[in-house]
Structure 1
Amino acid sequence: MPTIKVLPHAEYCPEGAQITAPAGTSICEALLDNGISIEHACDMSCACTTCHVIVREGLASLNEAEEEEEDLLDRAWGLTPQSRLSCQAIVAQKDLTVEIPKYSINHAKENH
């Protein structure tokens, strides 16, 4: 099973984390399943950018971003060439390193 290294984030994962997830799982699902409560205001339907992550290692192993995701990412805070919506980025067989950006555009946190 691939390992996902999550870099420290002051709110969601202060110490960082190392989790495993089966191939075919989205990064968002893997984080949530392992107690990392990343925002996902649209319930993982590719309709917002609150689950934006930066894939620091392993980006090429993920599925290709579709046009809808790329259009939404243009609105994400802290966009980089390694940015993905974690609800759309599907884990393959390679290990990943992800960073959750410091901010999101969600003005009111959802109770997920």
Structure 2
Amino acid sequence: MPIIHILPHASLCPEGGDIEAPTGTSICEALLDHGIAIEHACEMSCACTTCHVVVKQGYRSLGEPDEIEEDLLDKAWGLTPTSRLSCQAIVGTEDVTIEIPKYTINHARENH
């Protein structure tokens, strides 16, 4: 099973960590399933950017983002060439390393 390596995030995952994720699972689902409360204000419907992650390694194993995701990513805080919406980034067969940005465009964090 592929591993998602999570770089340290001050509030969501201070120590960083490694989690196993079945192929075909979104990064967002995998994080939530392992107790990492990544924001997902639109309930993973690809309508916001609060679940934005930066893929540091393994980007190509996630498949191509579609046009809707790319358009939304233009609004994400801290956008990079390897940014993805974690609700749309589906785990393939290779390990990935991600960074959860410090900020989102959501001013009031919801209770997820």
The normalised TM-score by structure 2 is 0.99
Counterpart of 1:31?
31
Aligned to 2:79: 79
- How do 1:73-112 residues align onto structure 2 when only pairs under 5 Å count? 73-112=73-112
Q: Any idea what SS the aligned residue of 1:72 has?
A: helix
Deviation of 1:108 (Å): 1.2
- Alignment partner of 1:101: what SS? coil
- Report the CA distance between 1:111 and its aligned residue: 1.3
Separation of aligned partners in 2, 1:19 and 1:62: 16
Cα separation, 1, equivalents of 2:51 and 2:75: 12
SS in 2 for 1:71: helix
Moved beyond 6 Å, runs of 4+: none
In the other structure, the counterpart of 1:8 is: 8
Mapped to 2, the partners of 1:16 and 1:23 lie a distance apart of 21
C-alpha distance in structure 2 between counterparts of 1:63 and 1:23, whole Å = 12
Q: CA deviation at 1:109?
A: 1.1
Superposition CA RMSD, Å: 0.4
Q: Which residue of 1 aligns with 2:22?
A: 22
Mapped pair 1:49 → 2:49: yes
Distance in 2 (CA, whole Å) between partners of 1:89 and 1:40 is 13
In 2, Cα distance between the equivalents of 1:84 and 1:31?
A: 14
**1:110 CA drift (Å):** 1.2
TM-score, normalised with respect to structure 1: 0.99
Query: Could you list the runs of 5+ residues in structure 1 that have no partner in the other structure?
Result: none
